A and B are shown apart, each in its own frame.
Chain A
Amino acid sequence: GAVVSQHPSWVICKSGTSVKIECRSLDFQATTMFWYRQFPKQSLMLMATSNEGSKATYEQGVEKDKFLINHASLTLSTLTVTSAHPEDSSFYICSARSPPTNTEAFFGQGTRLTVV
């Protein structure tokens, strides 16, 4: 089946620094990838939709200047958390749906970010 790989699986960073998370589709081309965030005991919340070759679409309340998304190729999307603060500590997870779009979504392993 389709595989989505996310890296790193966990990261601890100092407040004020930036962290980049990579999401790769390993055996299919993904023109669209999705970035979610999950706080403890909460559901996955869509942050943004990453579109290959164009600007990402951000959900309401998500700061586009803080969460930079780049989708430069059909197999790689990156999320950069800029000037991270402790409240950004969360579980970040990407997903992609292999064509046709009514098939299941495949998820990366997730990245647990802790900002200290």
Chain B
Amino acid sequence: RKEVEQDPGPFNVPEGATVAFNCTYSNSASQSFFWYRQDCRKEPKLLMSVYSSGNEDGRFTAQLNRASQYISLLIRDSKLSDSATYLCVVPGGGSQGNLIFGKGTKLSVKP
């Protein structure tokens, strides 16, 4: 299994749709997980942190399944502005705190 694996998409959805992304990770010792959003030619920005079973912030819900080693991100009532690439990020396991990035899932929300 790759360290962090995501479905690259693209996911093309209409405004108002609910969309879910999954991410699997290989390091069973990982304790914290992150979803970042990256717009084209921009730096990644933190969307959500996940430390326990899940996290919810408005239209965004992240869930963690440690037994199966996957994290999901659910976006409800999607907006045009949600169009971006969503990166699943897992600590690298080293002592210095590097992060391992998935290749990202591209989301395109259409009017």
Contacts and interface: CB of A to CB of B under 8 A. Distances in A.
A48 to B, nearest CB: 10
Contacts of B57: none
B99 interface: yes
Interface string B1-38: 00000000000000000000000000000011010000
Band of interface residues on A:
20 to 34
- Secondary structure at the B interface, as helix, strand, loop or mixed, is loop
Interface residues of B, number: 25
A60 interface: no
Given A34-B98, A34-B99, A101-B97, A44 B41 contact: no
Contacts of A6: 43
A33 B22 CA distance: 28
B43 to A, nearest CB: 4
Q: Is the interface of A mostly helix, strand, loop or mixed?
A: strand
Contact of A110 (B43, B87, B91, B99): B43
A91 to B, nearest CB: 7
B98 A44 contact: no
B101 A43 contact: yes
Interface of B: 31-32, 34, 41-46, 49, 51, 87, 89, 91-92, 94, 96-104
In the complex, the 6 A-B pairs of residues with the closest C-beta atoms, listed nearest first: A101-B97, A107-B43, A43-B103, A44-B101, A104-B46, A110-B43
